[in-house]
Amino acid sequence: MYLLVHPASPSQALTSAILTAGYQPVPIANLDDAGAKEPPDGWAAAVLELGNDPSGIINFGAKLRDEYDVAVLLVADRTLTIDLEDESEFDDFVLTPIDPHELRVRLGRLGVSAAVDTNDPVLRYADLELNTATYQATVAGVPRDLTYMEYELLRFLVEHPSRVWSREQILSKVWGYDYFGGSRTVDVHIRRLRAKLGEERASWITTVRSVGYRFG
């Protein structure tokens, strides 16, 4: 099940909780982004972090409900619950720090009960599927011919959406600490991945100037 997550750079704690609960987070920036990344079966639910703009996020949730007929679950710090008292433009909320079990229960109460099988070998992002058992990659059902390291790099990025990784971090986590190649290796593989994903999806991998790369 794909969960629409906002803002576009959610906290690592939320991303981790969603994955642990057995769902696939898809960070989105705005309504247009939600439409562009909407999976074929639609969004299972929307999970929104209130952050420093509770009213703005709640209003955004209301627009999502109207546009996509999707249940909205808010993630709020305990100090922000007073901002929810008179609001009705959401379906439920969960407090931080997030408990993955509670998250799964609350999503279940919203009708999102069929979480993905945590033993499922297929990683998904929008219309991208990576089968970790067969090392096959498809986009919109069309196979993509990836080398082993291209696949491993894409797999790493899909498993860690929204977080910014430096080239050195990517080298150590994908190629290994004993790899002596330079950071240019990462740039070359990122460029090849973007080409193989296609023009419409190349933007999934964002360059963060002077830092590294972010997926999603």
pLDDT mean across residues, the chain: 87
Q: Which residue has the tokens 């008292």?
A: 85
Residues 152, 171 contacting (CB under 8 angstroms):
no
Please tell me the least confidently modeled range out of 65-69, 87-91, 95-99, 156-160.
87-91
- Is residue 172 pLDDT above 70, yes or no? yes
pLDDT score, position 89:
80
- Residue range 2-109, CATH number: 3.40.50.2300
Question: What whole-number distance in Å separates Cα of residue 2 and Cα of residue 22?
Answer: 10
DSSP letter string, 158-183 = HHSTT-EEEHHHHIIIII-TT----T
The type of residue at 64 is: L
Higher per-residue pLDDT: 193 or 8: 193
pTM of the predicted structure, to 2 decimals: 0.57
- Strands (DSSP E) contained in the chain are 2-6, 24-27, 45-49, 72-76, 92-95, 122-125, 128-131, 136-139, 142-144, 164-166, 205-208, 212-215
- Is residue 111 pLDDT above 90, yes or no? no
The whole-number average pLDDT for the span 193-214 is 93
pLDDT score, position 115:
52
**Which of the following CATH numbers is that of domain 122-215: 1.20.1250.20, 3.30.1330.100, 1.10.10.10, 3.10.450.50?**
1.10.10.10
pLDDT score, position 54:
86
pLDDT over 90 for what percent of the chain? 49
Confidence band for 139, pLDDT divided at 50, 70 and 90: very high
pLDDT score, position 31:
94
Neighbours of 55 (CB within 10 A): 10
Higher per-residue pLDDT: 86 or 110: 110
The whole-number average pLDDT for the span 45-65 is 91
The type of residue at 142 is: V
Q: Is the dihedral of CA 140, 196, 35, 100 positive or negative?
A: positive
Neighbours of 216 (CB within 10 A): 23
Please list the residue range(s) of the chain that carry CATH number 1.10.10.10: 122-215
- Is residue 113 pLDDT above 80, yes or no? no
Please list the residue range(s) of the chain that carry CATH number 3.40.50.2300: 2-109
Token pair listed for 151: 């696949």
pLDDT score, position 2:
86
pLDDT score, position 80:
76
Confidence band for 120, pLDDT divided at 50, 70 and 90: low
pLDDT score, position 140:
87
pLDDT score, position 48:
95
